Structure 1
Amino acid sequence: MSTDSQGAAAANTTAAAPISFADCNNDICPYSVSFYPYEIDLAPNAAFLALFSLSLAGYLAVLALTRRSKGFTAAMTLGLASEILGYAGRVISWGNQWDEGGFLMQICCLTIGPAFLAAGIYLCIRRIVTAFGPENSRIPPQYYTRIFIPCDVVSLILQAAGGAMASVAFHNKKSTDTGDNIMIAGLAFQVFTLLVFMTLCVDFFANAARRRRALGDAALDQDPGLVGLRRSKVFRAFLGALALSTVCVFWRSVFRVAELSGGWTGELMGRQDLFVGFEGVMITVAVCVLNIFHPSLCFRHGEVKHGGEVSETEKV
């Protein structure tokens, strides 16, 4: 049924007997007055639901086979579980765009999911710095996780708290402004944290390249295992995949800040195409490239034992 015919049908029905918002469904009310300002397209949402489910299965399979990168896998699992629930909510909403449960599920879960994915990314950089040599970094390797993981937790708490407050206010038919603003603050802090993280990463690799031009191979850690790791094409591909994943999560977060800042009736909130591109596609790329170039698999060639201790390249 077209939007025009739906609007006419709704008008005729309303003339006979007023219909409350709670009684609306896709057959008798126009989409423009639903929780969404557009008709939800099932195809991309079902596709994202399937892709994220397969991605989660892939991460769990690698964990089962290698028993490594447990922290990274935990972060990716939480992020993907949030994405799966979020797109399940959108599929529910496709069936009935006036279903409050599906709407709130997708808003809350899709907002916080990438914060977990960012945590997984932050856990990888310590191993990379160790592989090239800590002296090339402005901060010790362990400080990357000590700084960025707490920042990510703060961002996650703000987003979750804001989403919960907005959901409760929405359910009680009260203003969601306070919850919305807290959620936006959490997303903005996530953008800032990712920007600082990317700046430090670029600085690290630029410094390593500069020192290598001046000192030759002595600028990098010459442990045989680490030398072999750095020469590995798989490891280099992993570095590219991690960079791509980081950029995708960053741009998605920038989009969500702009989208939510415009309000629930803003122009960006009404663009399903932008949501699919900047939310769905960006996060799909972010998780799938790390499925293919998983740190557990890409670091296997760099396993080094020092006096019976497991090296930093084996830990996450």
Structure 2
Amino acid sequence: MDNMVHIFSREDENRGCTKETCDPSKSVYGYEPNLGATIFFFILFTVSGAVYLWQGIKTKTQFFTGAMILGAISEVLGYVAKFILHNDPFSDLGFKMSVVLLTFAPAFYSAGIYYTLKHIWSVSELFPLLDLDSHCYSITFGSDFSRLRPAWYTYIFISCDIFSILLQAAGGALASAANDMTLLDIGDNVMIAGLALQVVTLVVFGLFAADYAIAAYRNRTRLNPSTEKLRNSPRFKFFLVALWVAFLCILLRSAYLVAELAGGWVHNEILRNQILFICLDSLPIGLAAVVMNVWHPGYCFPRSEQEAVIAEEKMMRNSSGSDEEARIQ
């Protein structure tokens, strides 16, 4: 009988316990989620998501807004699961909701950050509906210093994000449906592979971003003169700091989750430590969400300034073309 319990441990993580028959320490998480912390982060992500919606409507930053709202919704529903677990630490629904939703959430936030980085380089991609002709008008620093074309950051890193989510979903489905240890191990390993891919994607993205930042600094005398005022403004400098803070918070949280799930579902001290969860999960993602609310890219790259830069660069290009034609004649 003990062997059967072990084999089916993933299907019945609570070993038959209920809140009426067992202490919360016997549950998968090993604790009853703190009600105060749960309420605080539920409110934080609800307000943050609502603010993102309002900011998106006002600034028309559709992709960034969509990604951040999906992240906020995932977090809010994840903390609904924490409410369920507070009332019943042995709730199977609460456990599965919290694992799935709080696992996916950082991928949506990181997608918003991936997309934001290319805004620094290409105004034609930031506002594709503007009439920009075939030229790619540089914004802020320019794309010449990047090892990748701005659009490729979206294609590569967001594609990796989506693939990571699919791996996590497939792993979770396999593990939850497992009826033997082989399938159970495969499911857990697939889920961990998805999370590891998320961490690797973040690290590679950070290296490319740092490389670009160093190159732009070394070539600071050659930067786009049309955006000098924006580059030197406090709001833009704070925006860059906020972007790195959000990125590092998501990276920290994702690395923690890999370590958490790598320990398995039974007797996992990381999984069962509520203080670690709050400090390395709730707080980093909460901070990432709030700093990008405060230093929203739509405010740091307002449409009016983008259009002014475009007009100035068109004028400079036309002037250069006229001078060239005059020299040829």
TM-score class normalised by the smaller sequence:
0.7 to 0.9
> Do 2:175 and 2:184's aligned partners in 1 also have CA atoms closer than 8 Å?
yes
Aligned partners of 1:119 and 1:159: how far apart in 2? Answer: 16
- Counterpart Cα distance in 2 of 1:179 and 1:49: 29
Which of structure 1's runs of 4+ aligned residues deviate more than 6 A?
Answer: 172-175, 307-310
**Hey, what does 1:235 align to over in structure 2?**
236
Listed as ranges, the gaps of 5+ residues in structure 2 are: 1-13, 123-139, 315-329
Cα distance between partner residues in 2 of 1:191 and 1:185: 10
User: What residue in structure 1 maps to residue 264 of structure 2?
Assistant: 263
> Paired residue for 1:178?
186
Deviations 1:242-271 (A, max 9, x none): 110000000101111111111122221121
**1:291 is matched with which residue?**
293
Counterpart of 1:74, as a letter, is: G
After superposition, the Cα gap between the structure-2 partners of 1:289 and 1:162, relative to the gap in structure 1 and judged at 3 Å, is same
Amino acid corresponding to residue 138 of structure 1 in structure 2:
R
Match of 2:116 among 109, 124, 129: 124
| Greater helix share, structure number | 1
C-alpha deviation, 1:309, in angstroms:
11
What is the aligned partner in structure 2 of residue 101 from structure 1?
Answer: 93
| Match 2:39 to one of 41, 46, 70 | 46
Q: 1:194 to 1:23 in 2, by over 3 A?
A: closer
**Aligned residue number for residue 148 of structure 2:** 139
Cα deviation, residue 141, structure 1: 1.4
Q: TM-score of the superposition, structure 1-length normalised? A: 0.83
Secondary structure of 1:304's aligned partner:
helix
- Per the TM alignment, residue 35 of structure 1 is displaced from its structure 2 partner at its CA by 2.9
Match of 1:250 in 2: 251
The number of equivalent residue pairs is: 280
In the alignment, structure 1 segments of 5+ residues that lack a partner are: 1-19, 311-316
Q: Tell me the alpha carbon deviations over residues 194-225 of structure 1, each in whole angstroms, 9 at most, x when there is no partner.
A: 0000001111011111122xxx2xx11122xx
Distance in 2 of aligned mates of 1:100 and 1:208:
51
Contact 1:108 1:164 in 2 (8 A): no
What whole-Å deviation, never above 9, does each CA across 1:48-70 have from its counterpart, x for those lacking one? 1110001000000112223x110
- CA RMSD in angstroms comes to 2.2
Equivalents in 2 of 1:148, 1:36: separation in Å? 32
Partner of 2:8: none
Q: Say whether residues 1:222 and 2:222 are aligned partners.
A: no
**TM-score between both structures, scaled by the size of structure 2:** 0.80
In structure 2, the partner of 1:154 is 163
Q: What does residue 282 of structure 2 align with?
A: 280
